[in-house]
Amino acid sequence: MRNPLVTPTPEQLIGFPTAQEAEEAQHTCLTAPIREVKKHMKNWITGVALGRLAHIRPSNPEPPTRGITMWLEENNAKPPTRH
């Protein structure tokens, strides 16, 4: 996805350079033991600091919900702000 729109809007997103890397990160977060997830998150922080990954903080985050998170392609999206 080039211009993802997620509902509910999270407090932060990590942008990966390829769809494959994003899918692997999502799979890790959803299925790996928490120790492994924390190890990957430390690497992602380094990737953000080096400019390889994007740290995106939406301006209007929404509270988390139970159930499905929807990912859509937003056709009229503005480029994300990198932090």
Alpha helices in the chain (DSSP H): 19-31, 34-49
Give exposure, 24-62, as e/b (b: 16+ Cβ within 10 Å): ebeeeeeeeeeeeeeeeeeeeeebbeeeebbbbeeeeee
Amino acid making up residue 75: N
pLDDT of residue 49: 94
**pLDDT one-digit tens code per residue, 21-39:** 988 998 998 899 999 999 9
Q: Where are the domains of the chain?
A: 4-73
**pLDDT one-digit tens code per residue, 41-61:** 999 999 999 999 999 888 888
